Structure 1
Amino acid sequence: MTVLPATKDEWRSRLLADRRAVPPEVRATEAAALAGFARELVDAGQTVCGYVPVGTEPGSVQMLDSLRDAGVQVLLPVVVGYAPLDWAVYEGSLRPGPHRLLEPTGPRLGPQVIGTAAVVLVPALAVDSTGIRLGRGAGHYDRSLVHAAPDAVVAGVVRDQEFLPHLPFEAHDIRMTAVLTPGRGKIDVSSP
Structure 2
Amino acid sequence: MKGAQIPTSQPYPVQPGMEAEDAKEELRRAIRKQRNLRSPKQRAQAESAIADVVSSIPEVRDASVVGMYAARAGEPATGMLMELLASRGARVLLPVLGTGLARDWADYAGPEDLLERAPGRPPEPGGQTLGQDALKLADVVVAPALAVDTRGVRLGQGGGWYDRVLTHARPEAKVVAIVFPEEVYDATERPLPFEQHDHPVHAVATTTDWRWLTA
Fold match by TM threshold 0.5: yes
Amino acid paired to 1:74: V
- Count of aligned pairs between the two proteins: 189
Q: Which residue of 2 aligns with 1:168?
A: 193
Q: Percent identity?
A: 36
Cα deviation 1:116-142 (Å, max 9, x = unaligned): 111111111000101111111000000
Q: Which residue of 1 aligns with 2:146?
A: 125
CA shift in 2, pair 1:44/1:82, >3 Å? same
Q: Which residue of 1 aligns with 2:70?
A: 52
| TM-score of the aligned structures, taking structure 1 as reference length | 0.92
Q: Which residue of 2 aligns with 1:15?
A: 31
CA shift in 2, pair 1:168/1:44, >3 Å? closer
| TM-score of the aligned structures, taking structure 2 as reference length | 0.82
Structure-1 separation of matches of 2:86 and 2:138: 14
Aligned pairs for 1:1-192 within 5 A:
4-6=12-14, 7-41=23-57, 42-43=60-61, 46-83=64-101, 85-92=103-110, 93-100=113-120, 101-165=122-186, 166-184=191-209, 186-191=210-215
Amino acid paired to 2:116: P
Q: Unaligned stretches of 5+ in structure 1?
A: none
- Asked whether the equivalents of residues 85 and 141 of structure 1 are also in contact (C-alpha less than 8 Å), the reply is no
Amino acid paired to 1:11: L
Say which structure is richer in strand: 1
Amino acid paired to 2:74: T
Amino acid paired to 2:152: G
- The offset of 1:82, in angstroms, is 3.9
Q: Unaligned stretches of 5+ in structure 2?
A: 1-9, 15-22
CA shift in 2, pair 1:34/1:110, >3 Å? same
> The residue matched to 1:34 in structure 2 has which SS?
helix
Q: Which residue of 1 aligns with 2:17?
A: none
Structure-2 separation of matches of 1:78 and 1:103: 6
Query: Which is greater in Rg?
Result: 2
